Amino acid sequence: MMLPHLFGMLPEDLAAHLRADGVAVRDAESRRILAHAIAHGREGHPVSRPVPRAVEAAVDKLVDRSRLEIVERATDSSDGFVKYLFRLRDGRLVEAVRIPLEVPGRFTVCISSQAGCAMGCDFCATGRLGLERSLDAYEMVAQFIAVRDEAPGVVTGVVFQGEGEPLHNYAEVMQAAAILAHPCGGRIAAKAITISTVGLVPAILRYARERRPYRLIVSLTSAVDQRRRTLLPSASAWPVHELADAVRVYQKAVGGRVTVAWVVLGGINTGRDEVDALRELFDGVPLRLNLIDVNDARVGGFARASAEELSSFRDELRTLGIPVVRRYSGGAAKHAACGMLAGGSQQQS
């Protein structure tokens, strides 16, 4: 029987686990142990403010503290993105990416929430893998710790946008996000934690109801219902107008603009019909639209839009009166860009 993992616990979880085994641990001591291991990443070193030996011995006996095995690191020399390949305890492989920000010495970590993905989006290499399994919270936090500890600077953000659909693994992702935001955990501001979804309507409504403090990005890619059903097969469970209604509920719950991601597929989803559908679906909802180039032509045979096509599409989108941002997705040379993570070694690529 595997022990529960320290990286998947909040201080109150650790305290409750130890007390259930008869260990007399104070709340401050559980916070100190977690801060030492997660916030400071100093496993193997003495706790700066010592805790009783009996408590430390109990943690060693009752809690797993192992790190993920790093199989490979691959750096894209053109932009500084670094892809990490991790081996989980059951031998499965998942990937995470260190993303340099515009401010030198600042980074975001893109982490995986599942090994593989069940969503099957036509333009995404991860979707071609199928779902192997969902990750536990500690496996997501462990990705963050490993990448953060090697960063030549400060990690200031986390994006749940690697392998998997985060809202398909709702409880574990929310636990991981809470740990990453905790002062004893990742110490990442809640608003700097982003959770991306292809649009699981019941989960979005739950997210809104619970008023989670993290940013939500909805990957729309098409506002035309039948086209979206083709490009994102999982979306067929919910017509696009139901997704729009869920986004409206979420926006009213949290306020501010909702970020919508749009993978630009040349000749497919850049027409006037998409702009008209967006206007009809999201009338009155403050949005921000992130345009992302499709990255891997080997997946689905999709091509990037030409400069003229993209410019025309952006001009049409501006008539909606919403901010439109062309988001850079780096690391393509090492298969680290959006839609390219497929749990494989560069040596096998």
What is the model's pLDDT at position 148?
A: 97
Q: Are residues 261 and 144 in the same domain?
A: yes
What is the bridge-based pairing of β-strands 193-197 and 215-219? parallel
The total of structural domains in the chain comes to: 2
Residue whose tokens read 């995404």: 124
Average pLDDT, the chain: 90
Number of other residues whose CB lies within 10 A of the CB of residue 137: 25
Residue-number span of the structural domain to which 34 is assigned: 6-62
* CATH number for the domain that contains residue 76: 3.20.20.70
Q: Is the dihedral of CA 18, 23, 28, 34 positive or negative?
A: negative
Q: Are residues 137 and 180 in the same domain?
A: yes
DSSP H helical ranges for 35-132: 53-62
- Would you say residue 1 lies in a domain? no
Mean pLDDT on 110-132: 90
> Do 181 and 188 touch, CB atoms closer than 8 A?
yes
| Cα-based distances in Å from 70 to 51, 53, 96, 147 | 30, 31, 10, 10
Whether 247 has a pLDDT exceeding 50, the answer reads yes
pLDDT digits (tens, 9 = 90+) for 78-94: 888 999 999 999 999 99
Phi/psi at 200 (5° precision): -80, 100
What ranges make up the beta strands (E) of 173-271? 193-197, 215-219, 258-264
pLDDT digits (tens, 9 = 90+) for 142-201: 999 999 999 999 999 999 999 999 999 999 999 999 999 999 999 999 999 999 999 999
| Cα-based distances in Å from 267 to 136, 213, 223, 226, 320 | 39, 37, 15, 16, 21
Residue whose tokens read 């901010």: 323
Quick one: what percent of the chain has pLDDT higher than 90? 77
Catalytic (active-site) positions? 95, 338
Alpha-carbon gap, residue 7 to 16, rounded angstroms: 15
Q: Which of 222, 218, 206, 198 is nearest to 285 (CA)?
A: 218
Q: How confident is the model at residue 255 (pLDDT cuts 50, 70, 90)?
A: very high
Mean pLDDT on 209-219: 96
Q: How confident is the model at residue 303 (pLDDT cuts 50, 70, 90)?
A: confident
Q: Is the dihedral of CA 316, 317, 321, 327 positive or negative?
A: negative
Sheet holding 287-293, edge to edge: 69-75, 82-87, 93-100, 106-111, 154-160, 193-197, 215-219, 258-264, 287-293, 324-327
Q: Which of 258, 219, 233 is nearest to 338 (CA)?
A: 219
Side chain identity at residue 240, one-letter code = V
Q: Are residues 327 and 218 in the same domain?
A: yes
- Would you say residue 156 lies in a domain? yes
- Would you say residue 287 lies in a domain? yes
DSSP H helical ranges for 71-200: 137-150, 170-181
- Would you say residue 45 lies in a domain? yes
Q: Are residues 74 and 36 in the same domain?
A: no
Q: Read off the pTM.
A: 0.91
Q: Are residues 263 and 126 in the same domain?
A: yes
